[in-house]
Amino acid sequence: MAQTYDVIVVGSGPGGYPAAIRASQLGLKVAIVEKESLGGICLNWGCIPTKALLKSAQVFEYIKHAKDYGINVGENSADFGAVIQRSRGVANGMSKGVAFLMKKNKIDVIMGYGKVIPGKKVEVTDADGKKTEYAASKGVIIATGGRARELPNIKIDGTKIIEYRKAMSLEKQPESMLVIGSGAIGVEFAFVYASMGTKVTIVEFLPTMVPVEDEDVSKELTKQYKKMGIDIYTNSSVEKVDTSGKLCKVSVKTPDGPKTFEAEVVLSAAGVVANLENIGLEEMKIATERGKITVNEWYETNVPGYYAIGDCTPGPALAHVATAEGIICAEKIAGHKTEALDYNNIPGCTYCQPEIASVGLTEKRAREEGYDIKVGKFPFMASGKASAAGAKEGFVKVIFDAKYGEWLGAHMIGANVTEMIAEVVVARKLETTSHEILRSIHPHPTMSEAVKGATEAAYGEAIDL
Ligand SMILES: Cc1cc2nc3c(=O)[nH]c(=O)nc-3n(C[C@H](O)[C@H](O)[C@H](O)COP(=O)(O)OP(=O)(O)OC[C@H]3O[C@@H](n4cnc5c(N)ncnc54)[C@H](O)[C@@H]3O)c2cc1C
């Protein structure tokens, strides 16, 4: 007879492992199935190793500009191999941390390839090809995540045309790189490589860089990236990459006509696709739509007892979204009181320099939705802390509903703004109005004063502008 658990989770990313822990906290017997490394893309090949690379790039930027702070630094250079090694070390450490958490929460880790089968069961194929069935009395949670999207005309070959995994484990720093796509992944890698001396070109299909962000943020990032020497082509598409020579010859359709670029490496950063293949969905008739598993607000699929969360379901492909979904799903399975996720209050962060953080409606979207709005902007140029830190680029922009003062959106670009956005998320959750922000003291001197400053500006009460 198959070994039985209350819950079996397939996939141990930031969706799967928190779901397993929450289910265990609620008294359920839990197993988690993982085919590769505990922690999923986020810990092993996504959020964390990229942030380690970005930190190295930031340190190098500081050293290059040390003179601006009155510090003399001798000859210096980036040791690309050591930078990559540090990032891999950070990722491995985090993955071990998940192993510890599984043990601490008495969750059985089953290494192997999981496939959902009838009867709330999971069939696991281990490294030797041996198949074992496990049963779940309460539910199976599918949390198989995603992988890099491959554009139809640009085949990823892993050497000259690469995706994010290879971009964070290259053996040698390329002299030139063409990045396809200016979403978070594309612009983060562009910053890492450009700051270490690679000549970077970004090609974006849509009219603006970081296209999901407020247009003012896109403009500011474009300005800062151009200052760094990054070439940017928006409204442009990569038509073909010829990899037959030493350098890739990249044919790009631009608004000014076709152009050809040469680059040692092409990084395809055109989004992610869900891992849906060979996990039993067709056999089980679990419904999918546009490449994602269809779920309701409690992450139930159309087949009772089977749930899905994270990047393999619709919604923003972000680690904190996967985690929130996993926790709600586990609570629902355990019969614990829970609350559906508000997809209108999800922060998005991009860790390039300057950093980007946003939540809620962009100005354009708020106007399209018919809101009468009050918009305020506080440039970091006017911030004492930013001046002292030598980080005067960027701003905080806030958008309030003129009638009730509801906080519709906030858009930030500048140093450390990814650490500032949670204030807005909490305030919006508590239905805080502009009036309360104006009356909440923000410590001086901090970058976060800019949030209050922007709110003052929205109401014509700016002190420092
Ligand atoms: C380069 C990069 C940078 C990113 N940076 C950020 C960031 O800064 N902030 C942020 O919020 N998000 C970031 N993301 C997105 C984030 O990594 C994902 O949204 C998140 O990892 C999704 O979590 P998940 O649990 O749904 O899936 P995943 O993290 O993809 O985990 C799925 C797991 O399931 C396993 N699996 C798949 N199929 C099976 C199977 N059949 N059997 C057993 N195991 C299986 C996989 O091996 C994997 O471990 C980044 C992504 C990338 C690629």
- Residues 158-185: tens digit of each pLDDT: 999 999 999 999 999 999 999 999 999 9
Measure the CA–CA gap between 16 and 142, rounded to whole angstroms. Answer: 8
Query: What is the predicted pLDDT for the residue at 85?
Result: 98
- Atom number in ligand 1 closest to CA 51: 8
Q: What is the dihedral of CA 57, 63, 64, 66, to 10 degrees?
A: 140
Q: What is the dihedral of CA 331, 336, 337, 338, to 10 degrees?
A: 0
Whose CA is closest to 457, among 408, 396, 366, 411?
Answer: 396
Tokens of 206: 């849509």
Q: Do 354 and 393 touch, CB atoms closer than 8 A?
A: yes
Q: Is 65 a catalytic residue?
A: no
Whose CA is closest to 426, among 345, 348, 328, 365?
Answer: 345
Q: Read off the pLDDT band of 2 (50, 70, 90).
A: confident
Q: Read off the pLDDT band of 1 (50, 70, 90).
A: confident
Query: What is the predicted pLDDT for the residue at 419?
Result: 98
- Atom number in ligand 1 closest to CA 11: 34
Does the CB atom of residue 149 touch ligand 1 within 6 A? no
> DSSP per residue over 127-188, as a string?
TTS-EEEEEEEEEEEE---EEEPPPTTS---SSSEE-HHHHTS-SS--SEEEEE--SHHHHH
* Phi, psi dihedral angles at 270 (to 5 degrees): -105, 40
Helix (H, G, I), strand (E, B), or coil: what is residue 355?
strand
Pocket test for ligand 1, best of 17, 33, 36, 47 (most atoms within 8 A of CB): 47
Average confidence (pLDDT) over 42-51: 97
> Given a cut of 90, is residue 215 above it in pLDDT?
yes
- Atom number in ligand 1 closest to CA 316: 19
Q: Do 243 and 153 touch, CB atoms closer than 8 A?
A: no
Q: How many residues does the chain have?
A: 465
Does the CB atom of residue 279 touch ligand 1 within 6 A? yes
Pocket test for ligand 1, best of 34, 42, 277 (most atoms within 8 A of CB): 42
Binding residue positions = 51, 114, 181-188, 204, 271, 311
What domains appear along the chain, each with residue ranges and CATH number?
Answer: 3-148+273-343 (3.50.50.60), 161-270 (3.50.50.60), 354-458 (3.30.390.30)
Query: What is the predicted pLDDT for the residue at 417?
Result: 98
Query: What is the predicted pLDDT for the residue at 329?
Result: 98
> Given a cut of 90, is residue 432 above it in pLDDT?
yes
Rounded alpha-carbon distances, angstroms, from residue 337 to 16, 17, 331 = 20, 20, 7
Does the CB atom of residue 10 touch ligand 1 within 6 A? yes
Tokens of 438: 């104006």
Measure the CA–CA gap between 63 and 292, rounded to whole angstroms. Answer: 44
Whose CA is closest to 350, among 54, 60, 113?
Answer: 54
* pLDDT-above-90 percentage for the chain: 99
Does the CB atom of residue 347 touch ligand 1 within 6 A? no
